[in-house]
């Protein structure tokens, strides 16, 4: 499975304060990712005196993000806007895509004398085709641990016969992340039939086979694809997972076989101590 590192600013929000009278039209019901490119406010913490105003957006190079614009003071159901220092704009790489926020209505935006379309977003315009851009968003969701949000659109792209190596990887990754291992296997097979085959899809297929307890099939598939790995680390991870899987079902013969494969193909790396531990356990089991 891929590891997708996203830097972010941790901002924690709690229940709405009873001390602040929130205007009735500010409903905290919209998930962060669905409020993209719109003005939003977060649920205030109990001690907050003002609301935080900002805009969620998608940066193709950094994923889902948030731009803080300033504060809103609530006075007699009106919102008084105090902009942030333009020389110190705060941008956070966002992790909690399902956080419920309130989207400002067009009337509220107009009353605050804000442009209907946030001006800074011009710097994030892209010439990518719509479906390619959507795939980037779905990839970010996968990487942030929200495959549950990504899967429906990935399956829609599949029905539309959208194809690319990245697409098939993201589809297989989402299925694996959600425990739908047979569907992940099917997705990789479809990718291979369409001539898309790389080490990331090999990893997903191997993962899917192992988690369906198809250990021999997983071993055969992995060994057949050794030559297709560009990353020695990915190759090593697959071999070590194969060793662990055989050891867990007490198949000492295949465990020993794959320990030898590890020594021949990898030699030593960060997983050496793990392999040595299993080797010691095997000897104790036989004693």
Query: DSSP states of 177-191 as a string?
Result: HTT-HHHHHHHHHHH
Chain center to CA of 20:
35
Provide the mean pLDDT of the chain.
92
Confidence of residue 2 (pLDDT cuts 50, 70, 90): very low
Check: CB of residue 243 under 8 Å from CB of residue 218.
no
Helix, strand and coil content of the chain, in percent to the nearest 5, comes to: 50, 15, 35
Share of the chain above pLDDT 70, in %: 92
CA distance 232 to 251: 26
Give buried/exposed letters for 235-265 (b at 16+ CB in 10 A, else e): bbbbbbbbbbbbbeeeeeebbbebbebbeeb
pLDDT the model gives residue 11: 40
Instruction: Give me 247's structure tokens.
Output: 């050891």
Looking at 3-17, 23-37, 64-78, 115-129, which range is the least confident one?
3-17
Give the residue-averaged pLDDT of 170-188.
99
CA distance 28 to 25: 9
The string of pLDDT tens digits covering residues 84-106 is 876 667 899 999 999 999 999 99
The string of pLDDT tens digits covering residues 186-243 is 999 999 999 999 999 999 999 999 999 999 999 999 999 999 999 999 999 999 999 9
Is the model's pLDDT at 21 over the cut of 80?
yes
Closest CA to 207 of 192, 217, 194: 217
């Amino acid at each position: 499975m891929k590891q997708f590192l996203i830097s972010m600013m941790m901002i924690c929000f709690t229940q709405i304060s009873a001390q602040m009278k929130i205007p009735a039209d500010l409903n905290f019901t919209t998930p962060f990712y669905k409020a993209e490119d719109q003005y939003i406010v977060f649920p205030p913490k109990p001690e907050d005196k003002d609301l935080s105003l900002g805009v969620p957006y998608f940066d193709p190079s950094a994923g889902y993000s948030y731009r803080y614009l300033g504060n809103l003071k609530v006075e007699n159901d009106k919102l008084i806007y105090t902009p942030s220092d333009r020389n110190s704009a705060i941008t956070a790489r966002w992790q909690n895509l399902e956080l419920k926020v309130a989207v400002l209505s067009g009337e509220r935006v107009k009353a605050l004398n804000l442009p209907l379309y946030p001006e800074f977003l011009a710097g994030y315009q892209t010439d990518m085709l719509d479906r390619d851009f959507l795939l980037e968003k779905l990839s970010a969701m996968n990487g942030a641990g929200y495959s549950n949000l990504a899967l429906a659109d990935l399956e829609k792209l599949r029905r539309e016969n959208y194809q690319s190596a990245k697409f098939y990887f993201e589809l297989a990754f989402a299925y694996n992340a959600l425990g739908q291992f047979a569907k992940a296997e099917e997705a990789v097979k479809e990718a291979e039939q369409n001539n898309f085959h790389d080490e990331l899809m090999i990893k997903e297929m191997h993962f899917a086979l192992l988690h369906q307890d198809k250990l021999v099939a997983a071993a055969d598939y992995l060994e057949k694809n050794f030559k297709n790995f560009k990353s020695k680390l990915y190759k090593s991870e697959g071999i070590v997972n194969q060793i662990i899987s055989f050891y867990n079902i007490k198949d000492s013969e295949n465990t020993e076989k794959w320990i030898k494969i590890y020594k021949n193909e990898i030699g030593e790396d960060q997983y050496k101590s793990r392999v040595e531990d299993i080797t010691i356990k095997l000897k104790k089991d036989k004693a």
